[in-house]
Amino acid sequence: MKKRLILIFITLFLLLIAVFFINLSLGTISISPKAVIATLAGFGTKQEDIVLFSFRLPRIVIALLIGIGLAISGTILQGITNNDLADPGILGINTGAGLSVVMFIFFSENTVVNSFSTFLMPLAAFVGALVAMFLIYFLAWKNGITPKRLILVGIGINSAFSAILIIFQLKMTNQSFSQVITWLSGDLWGTNWGFVVAILPWIILLGSFVWIKGRSLNIMRLGDEIAVGMGLKLERERRILLFTAAALAGACVAFGGGLAFIGLIAPHLARRIVGPLHQIMLPAAALIGALILLVGDTISRNFFGPSEIPVGLIVSIIGAPYFVYLLIKTA
Amino acid sequence: MKMLKEVESMGEKKPKNKFKLNKMPFSKSVMAALIIIIGVVLLALMILASISMGESRTSFSTIITSLFHYNSENMVHQYIREIRLPRALAAVFVGIFLAISGSIMQGMTRNPLADPSIMGVMGGAELAIACVFAFFPGTSYLFLLFASFVGAGMSAIIVFSIGSWTKGGLTPVKLALAGTAIGTMLGALSTTIAIRFNVARDLSFWYAGGVVGTKWSSIPFLMIVAIIGIFMAIAISKRINVLSMGEDIALGLGINVFWTKLLGALVVVILTGASVSIAGMIGFIGLIIPHITRFIVGSNYRLIIPCSGILGGLLLITADMLSRMINPPYETPVGAITSLIGVPFFLYLARREGRGMI
């Protein structure tokens, strides 16, 4: 069993590295994998240096981090709510971020603020995600939180936000409308080193924190009564993990838009491949999430030119069949 | 089915079981009867109100004459017959369809998150419409209707087959997961097509459009769907009662679980497919109305199915009238209004410890 796990992790890791290099070498200016390695080691031409270090590398790092973050966030939410359908999307976190961004685009149309949108849009998304989470938690609180109430309130908030969102969306000009559609479908933007620096510590710190809390997540999966019986401070653990999930999802949504599907399928895939123990499953889910997003990014940048198809759509189109295949194969 | 009926009729005759029947919360069936009687009257009134509303207010007597003594040369009569009446009727039908299929979905899957969209129906219809917009621009209204109905049906068939092929059979969670995955994939495909062929905005307007622009020619279609779908829904409601207690119990009581699910899925597909093709995406009714109904009439699906239908019809026709009143002459998307009406109520129910919610 242990051997199998090690093998799985090595395979996932190698796959990730392979896709990493393929992604780096493909593009409008293609660079051979050999040249990629040379450039990374510091022996590239000036053009290769610019293409790799200023454009492709930051984008890939952001994609990796977002994949990891969404996968972990989805794992937490499925663990806390004990519901296999939970993900940042269904709980209204994504919609909160989406609404915030749509309102930002709507009100900043033709104003000075619009020129700072590269920096303000991620901020708007992040704030929207956290506001949604606070609202859900506040409304679901009544001498504590139960998973069922949390999900129900989440659905309610989600539908209310989507309702307001569509009203704004239909009032927009054509250009803002396509901007919004792209955003909501999930698209990597703001790919520069500044954003990498902003998101990297966030994902690493929160991710390792969740990994340490893996035991609590295992116990929560057993149901409330058993969890309390085993001496878990259920309410506190749940609150901490919930806001960690929201913070992770918020950061990812801020730079990647509506990519919720990864948060739904990565934990499922991981659970079906390595089993339900969170200490093992979390890293696997993180690797799978990163892998899915990287593959999606490679395809969306290279196979649909000249108009780029948002990566979120590609992720759904290629992720769903594999997900369904696993669904059919495993009991 | 036959056996079930026998069991039940036996139960009614035996005094022992009669005692049990009396112990059942009597007020719930009274509530159900009240909902149905008052609801039907209200529906009729709302249809009249909906027809009379508009830029030029029409008196009730004009409406009545236009309905029963139709004069094809009278402009007002034509307007009522061709534009306002179809719209009002479509709102009621779609509301009924969505609420009933939502009730069936939640009963079959025993998941409070389940709604008709979980069968991937919306995704299939959206893809069909995106293809029509992109590849056959300017096709007729009826063809559009037909295409989205077929798209909805196809996607539901895929989801249901995937759900039943899986090892360990068709569990509710698997059905829901398969539906979500397929629905997301089809939705993504249609957005991809929409972006590539520059019809994204048209597509959004279509699925947020509600019952605006429903034509008289689609009313017979809705009637047929209503007769078949509602009849089947009521016919299987007893089986859904058993199924909602859990599959083991259902098997133990000698119910053919697979056939029940297949029939249930068929009803859902017919009803949701028709709603989607007439009104686009109005997702909230199928999710929330069943919860609200269950809260009022209890967990007996023989009551839930008709009552949720009536409440759904009422909600949608009210929302459709509001959509014309909020910001005239523009119309606010009706799906947004149903959500904004339903959410506060839903949150209130959710906070009551989810009482009455499965």
To the nearest whole angstrom, how far is the Cα of A264 from the nearest Cα of chain B?
9
Are the beta carbons of A140 and B187 separated by less than 8 Å? Answer: no
Are the beta carbons of A181 and B283 separated by less than 8 Å? Answer: no
At B356, the pLDDT band (50, 70, 90 cuts) reads very low
At B92, the pLDDT band (50, 70, 90 cuts) reads very high
How confident is the model over A13-25, as a mean pLDDT?
88
Q: Which of B190, B193, B199, B351 best probes binding to A when mutated, by most A CB atoms within 10 angstroms?
A: B351
| CB-closest option in A83, A159, A264 to B343 | A159
What pLDDT score was predicted for residue B35?
84
Residue with the bigger pLDDT between B42 and A307: it is B42
At A282, the pLDDT band (50, 70, 90 cuts) reads very high
Q: Is the dihedral of CA B302, B346, A105, A318 positive or negative?
A: negative
Judged by average pLDDT, the poorest of A7-16, A275-284, B284-293 is B284-293
On chain A, the residues whose CB falls within 8 A of the CB of B162 are 324, 327-328
Judged by average pLDDT, the poorest of A25-34, A76-85, A284-293 is A25-34
Judged by average pLDDT, the poorest of A140-149, B62-71, B86-95, B210-219 is B62-71
Residue of B nearest to A318 (CA): B185
Are the beta carbons of A316 and B287 separated by less than 8 Å? Answer: no
Structural contact between residues B285 and B76, judged by C-beta atoms closer than 8 angstroms:
no
Judged by average pLDDT, the poorest of A217-221, B56-60, B81-85, B323-327 is B56-60
| CB-closest option in B168, B178, B189 to A317 | B189
On chain B, the residues whose CB falls within 8 A of the CB of A315 are 188
Whole-Å CA distances, B199 to A213, A311, B33: 46, 19, 47
At A190, the pLDDT band (50, 70, 90 cuts) reads low
The winner for highest mean pLDDT among A139-143, A203-207, B168-172 is A203-207
What pLDDT score was predicted for residue B16?
41
What's the whole-number average pLDDT of chain A? 83
What pLDDT score was predicted for residue B358?
40
What pLDDT score was predicted for residue B99?
92
CA distance B130 to B148: 9
Residue of B nearest to A137 (CA): B351
The values of phi and psi at residue A241, to 5°, are -65, -40
Residue B9 pLDDT exceeds 50: no
On chain A, the residues whose CB falls within 8 A of the CB of B207 are none
Residue with the bigger pLDDT between B160 and A202: it is A202
Other Cβ atoms within 10 Å of B45 Cβ, number: 10
Residue with the bigger pLDDT between A287 and A183: it is A287
What pLDDT score was predicted for residue B21?
42
Q: Give the tens place of pLDDT for each residue, B236-252.
A: 888 888 887 777 777 77
What pLDDT score was predicted for residue B227?
92
| CB-closest option in A159, A170, A324 to B178 | A324
At A67, the pLDDT band (50, 70, 90 cuts) reads very high
What pLDDT score was predicted for residue B20?
42
What pLDDT score was predicted for residue A284?
92
What pLDDT score was predicted for residue B355?
47
To the nearest whole angstrom, how far is the Cα of A261 from the nearest Cα of chain B?
8
| CB-closest option in A155, A156, A327 to B177 | A327
Are the beta carbons of A151 and B112 separated by less than 8 Å? Answer: yes
Q: Give the tens place of pLDDT for each residue, B255-291.
A: 777 788 888 888 988 888 888 888 887 867 888 888 8
To the nearest whole angstrom, how far is the Cα of B105 from the nearest Cα of chain A?
15
At B26, the pLDDT band (50, 70, 90 cuts) reads low
What pLDDT score was predicted for residue B250?
78
What pLDDT score was predicted for residue B112?
67
Q: Which of A78, A166, A325 best probes binding to B when mutated, by most B CB atoms within 10 angstroms?
A: A166
- CB of B74 less than 8 A from some CB of A: no
**Chain A to chain B Cβ contacts (< 8 Å):** 153
Are the beta carbons of A163 and B335 separated by less than 8 Å? Answer: yes
- CB of B168 less than 8 A from some CB of A: yes
The winner for highest mean pLDDT among A120-129, A203-212, A220-229 is A203-212
| CB-closest option in B283, B337, B343 to A156 | B343
Are the beta carbons of A268 and B346 separated by less than 8 Å? Answer: no
Q: Give the tens place of pLDDT for each residue, B100-116.
A: 988 988 888 776 666 76
Q: Which of B195, B206, B337, B340 best probes binding to A when mutated, by most A CB atoms within 10 angstroms?
A: B195
Burial class of residue B160, CB neighbours in 10 A (0-12, 13-18, 19+): buried
| CB-closest option in B176, B205, B287 to A155 | B287
To the nearest whole angstrom, how far is the Cα of A161 from the nearest Cα of chain B?
9
Q: Which of B122, B182, B192 best probes binding to A when mutated, by most A CB atoms within 10 angstroms?
A: B192
| CB-closest option in A152, A162, A261 to B184 | A261
H-helix or E-strand containing B48?
helix B26-52
Both tokens of B171, joined, read 């569990």
What pLDDT score was predicted for residue B113?
64
> Measured in whole angstroms, how far is the alpha carbon of residue A70 from the centre of its chain?
3
Residue B2 pLDDT exceeds 50: no
To the nearest whole angstrom, how far is the Cα of B139 from the nearest Cα of chain A?
23
Are the beta carbons of B185 and A316 separated by less than 8 Å? Answer: yes
| CB-closest option in A85, A156, A328 to B180 | A85
On chain A, the residues whose CB falls within 8 A of the CB of B168 are 331
**Percent of chain B with pLDDT strictly greater than 90:** 9
Residue B254 pLDDT exceeds 90: no
- CB of B335 less than 8 A from some CB of A: yes
What pLDDT score was predicted for residue B7?
42
Q: Give the tens place of pLDDT for each residue, A208-224.
A: 998 888 888 888 888 77
Structural contact between residues A220 and A238, judged by C-beta atoms closer than 8 angstroms:
yes
CA distance B313 to B310: 5
Residue of B nearest to A152 (CA): B350
Residue with the bigger pLDDT between B343 and B350: it is B343
DSSP per-residue codes, B12-30: HHSHHHHHHHHHS-HHHHH
3-state SS string for chain A = CHHHHHHHHHHHHHHHHHHHHHHHHCCCCCCCHHHHHHHHCCCCCHHHHHHHHHHHHHHHHHHHHHHHHHHHHHHHHHHHHCCCCCCCCCCCHHHHHHHHHHHHHHHHCCCHHHHHHHHHHHHHHHHHHHHHHHHHHHHHCCCCCCHHHHHHHHHHHHHHHHHHHHHHHHCCCHHHHHHHHHHHHCCCCCCCHHHHHHHHHHHHHHHHHHHHCHHHHHHHCCCHHHHHHCCCCHHHHHHHHHHHHHHHHHHHHHHHCCCHHHHHHHHHHHHHHHCCCHHHHHHHHHHHHHHHHHHHHHHHHHCCCCCCCCHHHHHHHHHHHHHHHHHHHCC
At B299, the pLDDT band (50, 70, 90 cuts) reads confident
Look up residue B69 and give its DSSP letter. S
Other Cβ atoms within 10 Å of B332 Cβ, number: 23
What pLDDT score was predicted for residue A185?
80
Are the beta carbons of A177 and B200 separated by less than 8 Å? Answer: yes
